[in-house]
């Protein structure tokens, strides 16, 4: 059982002085709910001392210092009694009490229909996303083989769930280790931008995160640790890349061909295929004249070379997306000269804690106070849940379409612009360059603690916005003809996000390839299943990227449960294959495109965005409430599928 493998709560053995000190690092609203699990007394939910508001990554609820001190004093007494009474937490199961606690924590009414989803996410009820396989004989399960393509976050998750199910499976991973994006992206400064106590599997919390937004090595280590924590290492085949997979209709099986590190190809048979290859995996180099002529060192941000010493070098960075935004501040102090080539300016969102370390007292609370870490997860999740989504819809009657899409978006624009103005001061020239010329929230908004603009204001750093004419042997020539002689060019130019499962050749029924079927418009039912491709389940597939909140781990947990419920249904029905019905798929795509067409991501002020395909159509994003996606993916509806 996964639950048994999650870290158990450690008993409190520390003395009063230690505890009092640890509480100075606590999130006070979270501490208040943990107090209920220690005392069983819910009276504080009606008290005057309470969180006053909620905002993304604000974990103190805007409480005054006096109120926080008062809670700490009360909490110390409650914790002492709990410790001295043998650390017996009070489990709460009444949904109305839980809903009141949720509402208290985030200082707004949480609707009852969100409670079951959030309970699952917080695991107050145990690991509810695990399916029950007992009714299916063990031999039937172990005789069904699944190939998982990719050992990143979704691949590791699939492996954990497949192992619990007792199915036979192999994870094929092209790299030498797990982590996917967190294995490959090793550029300086690379870190997650979803709060880490939420960005980890719901059933595998990590109380030891050293930073609130951890850096790449720690994230990769988390996924690496999961291999042993869940006993799945033996199922991984590293240094092996799936090059093709073909559906054998006669036998209802997939023939999966892999190429190993030595170039040898091998084909094996599988009953089902789970694609866990991610959306942002294949680096995209820009189509700039002369790119191959450069004689210095050139590398993509996702293929960072650790052997390259950039200290004291002249460095050019092309791109100002999420990767460059982290990379530039991390190298700026060490290089001799740095030119950053910007095509579109990014919008940035103030998060002063973006580089903050997790204090030892906060770690202690996570480990020792009952359900503290679970409520803390909720506190991070709720403001990033569905509340923002309506504000991303274009209001056709809004008169200022050239700068915003609705009243809320206009306010967002003002907050973001003020944040940048405060930092840039009276440098009007820089301000002109860094204020985006498209509406806010239309592209990925970046978490900012000020390090980006601080880096750009260094005398040896320059933001160039003229455009690039060509790359020569010596460096970069901009549109004005000015050459920057560079030692290193870094392409922080993103990924082939719209080319799902590329460059693999996936051949479905009737010899149809995914590439032919999709063209430049990849589509999958719920982002997971594809007509003509039986027993293929995509994780983080078309139409599932989140551009308003949530976490891809949440989405993957939904998708994996759905995929496994499909396999479970197959085994229960004694069928060999399932395939989504064309009509179901078509109706879903119409609904999806209809919803997407009203969203900010398609706004005409956006000139370039990886959210759009070449024709400007959005294919990668989800416009759905997390609540709806969770509901729709709880289990497959057999009526949506044709069974063989
Ligand atoms: P990106 O967001 O696609 O940014 C690519 C940058 O390169 C953009 O500034 C783009 O300009 C520029 N560019 C592309 N082609 C160009 C050309 N021909 N000439 C000049 N500039 C060009 O890629 P990314 O920064 O690697 O990020 C991709 C996604 O990965 C992010 O949106 C995010 O989802 C994820 N990511 C997450 C994190 C994190 O969580 N911390 C960190 C890194 C990446 P335009 O804007 O004009 O297209």
Express each pLDDT in 34-43 by its tens digit. 999 999 999 9
Same domain (yes/no): 265, 374: no
Smallest CA separation from ligand 1 atom 18, residue: 286
CB 255 within 8 Å of CB 245: yes
Same domain (yes/no): 501, 577: yes
Q: Where among 476, 491, 506 does a domain terminate? A: 491
Same domain (yes/no): 501, 592: yes
Backbone torsions φ then ψ of 246, nearest 5 degrees: -125, 135
Ligand 1 centroid distance, CA of 116 (Å): 36
Same domain (yes/no): 27, 162: no
Residue 462 C-alpha from the chain's centroid: 31
Please tell me if the CB atom of residue 494 comes closer than 6 angstroms to any atom of ligand 1. yes
480 CB-side CA count, 13 A: 5
128 in a domain, yes or no?
no
Q: CA 138, CA 14: separation in Å to the nearest integer?
A: 46
286 in a domain, yes or no?
no
The residue behind tokens 């009820």 is 125
Please tell me if the CB atom of residue 320 comes closer than 6 angstroms to any atom of ligand 1. yes
Residue 569 C-alpha from the chain's centroid: 29
Q: What is the pLDDT of residue 8?
A: 63
Atom of ligand 1 nearest to the CA of 288: 18
Q: At what angle do helices 28-39 and 360-368 cross, to 10 degrees?
A: 30
Joined together, the tokens standing for residue 449 give: 């603690």
215 in a domain, yes or no?
yes
Same domain (yes/no): 590, 474: no
Joined together, the tokens standing for residue 497 give: 């996000």
Same domain (yes/no): 341, 431: yes
| DSSP per position, 182-231 | HHH--STT-B-SS-TTTSS-TTS--TT-SBSS-BHHHHHHHHHHHHHHTT
Same domain (yes/no): 502, 482: no
Task: Say which CATH number the domain at 420 has.
Answer: 3.50.50.60
Ligand 1 centroid distance, CA of 191 (Å): 15
Pocket probe for ligand 1: among 57, 299, 323, 492, the residue whose CB has the most ligand atoms within 8 Å is: 323
Same domain (yes/no): 411, 321: yes
Please tell me if the CB atom of residue 284 comes closer than 6 angstroms to any atom of ligand 1. no
Q: What is the pLDDT of residue 5?
A: 36
CB 535 within 8 Å of CB 251: no
The residue behind tokens 């495109």 is 593
565 in a domain, yes or no?
yes
User: Residue 508's closest CA among 255, 266, 264?
Assistant: 255
Q: CA 605, CA 453: separation in Å to the nearest integer?
A: 24
Q: Note the pTM of the prediction, 2 decimals.
A: 0.97
Ligand 1 centroid distance, CA of 322 (Å): 6
Please tell me if the CB atom of residue 286 comes closer than 6 angstroms to any atom of ligand 1. yes
Task: Mark out the alpha helices in 425-574 (DSSP H runs).
Answer: 428-434, 451-456, 514-518, 552-573
Residue spans of the chain under pLDDT 50: 1-6
CB 161 within 8 Å of CB 143: no
Q: What is the pLDDT of residue 3?
A: 38
Q: What is the pLDDT of residue 456?
A: 97
411 in a domain, yes or no?
yes
Q: What is the pLDDT of residue 632?
A: 98
Task: Give CA angle at 490 (489, 494), nearest 5°.
Answer: 140
Pocket probe for ligand 1: among 298, 319, 605, 614, the residue whose CB has the most ligand atoms within 8 Å is: 319
Q: CA 229, CA 306: separation in Å to the nearest integer?
A: 29
Please tell me if the CB atom of residue 179 comes closer than 6 angstroms to any atom of ligand 1. no
386 in a domain, yes or no?
no
Q: What is the pLDDT of residue 6?
A: 42
Q: What is the pLDDT of residue 10?
A: 86
Please tell me if the CB atom of residue 319 comes closer than 6 angstroms to any atom of ligand 1. yes
129 in a domain, yes or no?
no
The bridge status of strand 297-300 relative to strand 168-172 is: unpaired
Same domain (yes/no): 444, 483: yes
* Number of structural domains the chain divides into: 3
Backbone torsions φ then ψ of 237, nearest 5 degrees: -115, 110
Joined together, the tokens standing for residue 79 give: 């914790």
Please tell me if the CB atom of residue 57 comes closer than 6 angstroms to any atom of ligand 1. no
Q: Where among 460, 476, 491 does a domain terminate? A: 491
List pLDDT tens digits, range 470-482. Answer: 999 999 999 999 9
What residue numbers bound the domain in which 58 lies? Answer: 16-123+361-381
Same domain (yes/no): 89, 176: no
Which residues lie across from 513 on neighbouring strands?
507
Please tell me if the CB atom of residue 493 comes closer than 6 angstroms to any atom of ligand 1. yes
415 in a domain, yes or no?
yes
Same domain (yes/no): 100, 243: no
Q: CA 599, CA 596: separation in Å to the nearest integer?
A: 5
Same domain (yes/no): 503, 638: yes
């Amino acid at each position: 059982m996964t639950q048994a493998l999650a870290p158990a709560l450690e008993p409190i053995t520390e003395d009063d002085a230690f505890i009092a000190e640890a509480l100075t690092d606590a999130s006070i609203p979270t501490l208040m709910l943990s107090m209920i699990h220690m005392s069983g007394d819910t009276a504080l939910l009606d008290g005057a001392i309470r969180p006053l508001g909620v905002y993304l990554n604000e974990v103190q609820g805007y409480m005054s210092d006096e109120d926080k001190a008062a809670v700490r004093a009360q909490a110390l007494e409650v914790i002492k009694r709990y410790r001295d009474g043998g650390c017996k937490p009070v489990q709460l199961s009444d949904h109305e009490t839980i809903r009141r606690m949720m509402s208290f924590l985030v200082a707004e009414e949480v609707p009852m229909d969100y409670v079951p989803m959030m309970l699952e996410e917080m695991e107050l009820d145990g690991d509810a996303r695990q399916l029950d396989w007992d009714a299916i004989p063990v031999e039937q399960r172990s005789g069904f083989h699944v190939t998982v393509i990719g050992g990143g976050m979704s691949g590791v998750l699939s492996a954990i769930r497949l192992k619990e199910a007792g199915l036979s499976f192999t994870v094929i991973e092209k790299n030498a280790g797990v982590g996917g994006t967190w294995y490959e992206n090793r550029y300086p400064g690379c870190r997650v931008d979803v709060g880490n106590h939420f960005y980890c599997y719901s059933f595998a919390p990590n109380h030891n995160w050293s930073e609130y937004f951890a850096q790449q090595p720690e994230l990769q280590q988390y996924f690496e640790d999961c291999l042993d924590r869940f006993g799945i290492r033996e199922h991984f085949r590293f240094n092996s890349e799936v090059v093709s997979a073909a559906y054998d209709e006669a036998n209802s099986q997939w023939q999966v061909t892999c190429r190993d590190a030595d170039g040898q190809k091998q084909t094996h048979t599988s009953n089902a295929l789970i694609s866990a290859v991610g959306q942002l995996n294949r680096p995209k180099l820009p189509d700039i004249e002369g790119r191959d002529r450069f004689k210095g060192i050139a590398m993509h941000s996702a293929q960072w070379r650790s052997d390259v010493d950039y200290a004291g070098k002249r460095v050019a960075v092309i791109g100002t997306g999420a990767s460059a935004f982290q990379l530039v501040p991390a190298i700026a102090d060490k290089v001799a000269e740095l030119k950053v080539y910007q095509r579109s300016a990014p919008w940035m969102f103030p998060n002063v804690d973006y580089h903050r370390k997790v204090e030892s007292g906060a770690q202690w609370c996570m480990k020792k106070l009952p359900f503290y870490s679970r409520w803390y997860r909720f506190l991070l999740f709720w403001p990033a849940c569905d509340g923002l989504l309506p504000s991303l819809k274009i209001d056709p009657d809004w008169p200022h379409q050239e700068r915003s899409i609705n009243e809320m978006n206009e306010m967002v624009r003002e907050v973001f612009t003020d944040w940048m103005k405060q930092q840039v001061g009276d440098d009007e020239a820089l301000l002109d360059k860094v204020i985006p010329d498209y509406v806010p929230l239309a592209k990925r908004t970046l978490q900012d603690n000020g390090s980006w603009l601080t880096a750009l204001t260094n005398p040896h750093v320059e933001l160039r916005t003229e455009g690039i004419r060509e790359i020569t042997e010596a460096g970069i020539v901009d549109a004005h003809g000015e050459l920057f002689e560079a030692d290193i060019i870094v392409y922080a130019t993103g990924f082939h996000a719209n080319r799902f499962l590329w460059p693999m050749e996936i051949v479905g029924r009737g010899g149809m390839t995914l590439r032919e079927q999709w063209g430049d418009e990849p589509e999958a039912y719920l982002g997971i299943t594809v007509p003509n491709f039986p027993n293929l389940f995509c994780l983080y597939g078309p139409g599932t990227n989140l551009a308003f909140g949530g976490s891809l781990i949440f989405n993957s947990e939904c998708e994996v449960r759905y995929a496994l419920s499909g396999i479970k249904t197959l085994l229960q029905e004694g069928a060999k294959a399932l395939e989504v019905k064309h009509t179901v798929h078509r109706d879903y795509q119409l609904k999806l495109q209809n919803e997407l067409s009203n969203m900010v991501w398609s706004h005409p002020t956006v000139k370039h965005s990886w959210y759009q395909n070449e024709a400007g159509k959005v294919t990668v994003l989800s416009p759905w409430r997390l609540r709806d996606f969770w509901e729709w993916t709880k289990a497959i509806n057999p009526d949506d599928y044709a069974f063989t």
